Structure 1
């Protein structure tokens, strides 16, 4: 893939044209209030993984409408963790298996790996959380489930689950600094969770969206032909009269609008040859971020893999510096 988006100099100045619904805050306040009303105490069950350097527990907590959301809670076995990292998963993936341990607990942090409801069909990582809510006409995948109205859209449930994941992490490790991270869809959920956290008085000391998805929908759905954004274009090709309503719904879930509300320091990443999450859409959210404490790693010759292990090394250093 060659360079296809704006030049880097223009990306740094780019501002998204996504509209902000007049009742954006009220919509999310009502959604989170409804979610909290249905909340119940998380269940935590230790798991024997055969690993000796970390302890792993199977966590089940209440998400939107009190639905069960699954996660792995992994902590160092020989020391008290110094912070909590909540991680969200990329599109089609799930939390995986209990022994699939990331770098975070090995660096001394507690780590909550959160399933995404109704996903986990990707062969690379399985999921264990259902989405029991129905949908009207939709394209295969989850991008258009319930897209006729913001109240029924799939990501309303997922974003509410994401905030509940932060609250659950707080309950599991009270008093520890809280950080959020994720790649692709996980990066988009990181942005949404950071915005919702700021709106709900939850202190987040760092947000690390890696090649984030779910940002700048009007541009993303017209500049790339790659899935998952392509699911929306395919839906609109069949539902020709729903263009305006579809973008009106998506505005409630656009990472740009959540970025404007985020207050945590942040480290983004993007890749300039990424047709899945085009760099202009990433910069749309980054440039709108509500805190001046922000930085972005740019990988000029990479596709959606972005920085990969190079970016994780940068993140580990950034988190250590923030905590120091």
Structure 2
């Protein structure tokens, strides 16, 4: 399906588009909802200027800033994530680079989590080099998370402190180290439908394993604080397009689902989503574990009916 044909799908009725996406999910992807949770292991004072991010040192956002958590703190949070029903645990740090000492702390934590808690461990630690990836792989890391954020065309309007090419290079190094890749982006930053389609097509070209879709939560103090919020319908249509393009990949709904979708949340799973982040985000609280567990149960019931 070429770009023009994908654009024409937007002319379908909302429900018809959802039906087409759900057919693709059933035919090519999993009917098990993959749940993951994250640990904000190092927060704030980031040198990068991503216009959406509360952790950028370029903006005044009044978040709690702290250095890398200890190995024991990271492991303790993994236990809480497992109790939420998640099977994957992501260790996330602010900044584009980590020191070797920081990486070693994370490597020790990964090893202990796998041996004693039994979760699959992912990490999002910025632009690592080959040596760093090999260290983490040896510790047991299974997947690396590194979003491309948006289309190559729109990226310079969102980030200027590092390039799109640098992000792609990092993804390729993670692949070279034998890691799976989780990469997606954020919608609602002022991009066009063409930008969203281009992002999905490029993720298909990169052959990533998991695709998180975040919906922008405008943060006071960032350049995007006053941007007009996209509609729930447009967010769900975007997810449907991603499923039609990324047929067999895990598509995961992440930040923004609670604040924007509200009563529409179940519809993202009829639009092709088969993964969800639970337990909160980097600087934003999520819903209660009980609410998300109830949602998952209802989605399984819906999938059986259809």
Q: TM-score, normalised by structure 1?
A: 0.33
Specify which structure has the higher proportion of helix: 2
Q: TM-score, normalised by structure 2?
A: 0.34
Greater RCO (Cα-Cα under 8 Å, separation 6 or more): 2
